[in-house]
Amino acid sequence: LKIISSRYTLIGNKIEENIAVAFSNKIEAIGKLEDLKDQFPTAEIVERENTLLMAGLINAHIHLEFSKNSTELNYGNFVNWLNSVIEKRTELVSSCETECIETVLDSLIKSGTTAIGAISSYGFEFEALKKSPIRKVIFNELIGSQPHQVDALWQNFLSRLEESSEFNSDRSTSSIAIHSPYSVHPILIRKAMEIATKRDIPVSTHFMESQAEREWLDSGKGDFKEFFEKFFNGSKPVNSAENFLNGFSKPIAFTHCNYLSDSELQIFKESNHTVSHCPRSNRLLGSRKLDINKLDSLGIEWNISTDGLSSNSSLSLWDELQTALYLHSDREPKEFAFQLLKSVTEIPAKQLNLNSGKIDIGRDSDLLLIDLKDDNFEDLSYIPLHLILRQYRIEKVFIGGDEVV
Ligand code: BEZ
Ligand code: FE2
């Protein structure tokens, strides 16, 4: 058992001063250092002057397999990007093997990310994920719109799902991602949702990322028409947006959602669906800005995530938070910073069904101790904003109570 005594602690929506936290693999007690010492006389004590303790960050939507990308892909327009992904994916994915993924996972942990929702297209990152102390939900991706490919793709998906289930543990959950409404046949979606419902595992999907997707699903026209003609010798959309949304009987984590209609927003609200917001990826692939004000006014919860290096230049949530802070420029920065920190802790914990994301008794001890140098805070409520602006050094990282950095 350890006791950390820091100058500041982020608990819920508040910065507390001179509070200590006692934890094993779970958080055992929160209080004054002297009281915790009495309660746990044999505990190892870490006392740090100008530091802040907070819950570890959770990146709910990330594609590790594309980590080798730097300058290979086309940016600016979603369908142009997708064309370049299809052209380069074999080369890109096969050039980032286990060691390369391990390096990425290490740097994620060092940047304060203690849990991820890893979208896995091929299962090539399983070995690295298995070894890493990071907490993970592995979203095995189901893709395939063409009827003649459906059986083979289903079998391939099932074998990845089972392979990743073999290392299920308190740190690892094998789960399901449905690629998108334009790329997955409704029969596959129905079969996948049967498994997800029976196993009670979280489900992730991409939805309404581009104007092209909106047009294609609504009218079978636009940039996707040419794309489907090129790769699948002409076809019609396999789902409408409405049918796609009707296929989900449990809350789903939908990534992007830049082009939702009002009726879709109502469905999100009524079904407790949530959103993964990836601002840098959206910027690079030509998507409009997500309307978080609308989501907030309807009580639809959203996280900030990075997506993969196929559409980002960094997997650090601090970089992504900073982008979000500047992007949503109508938000008052001090208050918005609290909401942003929640969007990478408490909210994604709920979406991924994790017991971390919050400093609270009984929660898993995924924690960060951040070195605030000799910076001085007269008004403590500015601390979240400065955490996002200044990228302070993460001095210690704990996952399940283990010190991993
Ligand atoms: C498909 O497999 O049908 C597909 C894959 C990527 C984009 C669109 C469709
Ligand atoms: Fe994605």
For 137, the token pair is 């939900």
Question: Are the beta carbons of 145 and 182 closer than 8 angstroms?
Answer: yes
Nearest ligand 1 atom to the CA of 184 is 3
**DSSP one-letter code for 113:** E
Q: Over 90: is that where the pLDDT of 269 sits? A: yes
Specify the residue with its C-alpha closest to ligand 1, atom 8.
183
CA neighbours within 13 Å on the CB side: how many for 186? 11
- The Cα-based distances of 279 to 256, 287, 289, 322 in angstroms read 9, 9, 8, 10
Specify the residue with its C-alpha closest to ligand 1, atom 6.
183
Task: Tell me the residues surrounding ligand 2 (ion) with CB < 5 Å.
Answer: 307
pLDDT at 44: 98
Asked if 17 is an active-site residue, the reply is no
Widest pairwise Cα distance in the chain: 73
- From 63, 156, 183, mutation site for ligand 1 pocket: most ligand atoms within 8 A of C-beta: 183
Pocket of ligand 1 (CB under 6 A): 143-146, 182-183
Q: Over 80: is that where the pLDDT of 129 sits? A: yes
Q: Which residue is it, tokens 């949702």?
A: 193
Buried b (16+ CB within 10 A) or exposed e, 246-260: ebbeebbbbbbbbbb
Rounded mean pLDDT, 293-322: 98
pLDDT digits (tens, 9 = 90+) for 276-286: 999 999 999 99
Ligand nearest to the CA of 82: 1
How far is the C-alpha of 228 from the C-alpha of 215, rounded, in Å?
13
Q: Over 90: is that where the pLDDT of 273 sits? A: yes
pLDDT digits (tens, 9 = 90+) for 215-228: 999 999 999 999 99
Ligand nearest to the CA of 182: 1
Q: Over 90: is that where the pLDDT of 233 sits? A: no
pLDDT at 235: 82
For 82, the token pair is 């997708």
How far is the C-alpha of 269 from the C-alpha of 298, rounded, in Å?
6
Mean pLDDT computed over every residue of the chain: 98
For 104, the token pair is 């990425």
| Spacing, Cα 6 to ligand 2 middle (Å) | 36
Q: At 16, is the pLDDT very low, low, confident or very high (cuts 50, 70, 90)?
A: very high
pLDDT digits (tens, 9 = 90+) for 60-113: 999 999 999 999 999 999 999 999 999 999 999 999 999 999 999 999 999 999
Question: Are the beta carbons of 342 and 55 closer than 8 angstroms?
Answer: no
For residue 289, is it left (φ>0), alpha (ψ between -120 and 50) or beta? beta
Q: Which parts of 26-134 are beta strand (E)? A: 27-31, 44-47, 51-55, 57-62, 113-120
pLDDT at 131: 98
pLDDT digits (tens, 9 = 90+) for 148-185: 999 999 999 999 999 999 999 999 999 999 999 999 99
How far is the C-alpha of 129 from the C-alpha of 68, rounded, in Å?
17
Ligand nearest to the CA of 81: 1
How far is the C-alpha of 169 from the C-alpha of 178, rounded, in Å?
23
Q: Which of 209, 213, 264, 320 is flagged as catalytic?
A: 209
Question: Are the beta carbons of 375 and 386 closer than 8 angstroms?
Answer: yes
Name the helix (H) or strand (E) containing 228.
helix 223-232
Q: At 234, is the pLDDT very low, low, confident or very high (cuts 50, 70, 90)?
A: confident
Specify the residue with its C-alpha closest to ligand 1, atom 5.
183
Q: At 325, is the pLDDT very low, low, confident or very high (cuts 50, 70, 90)?
A: very high
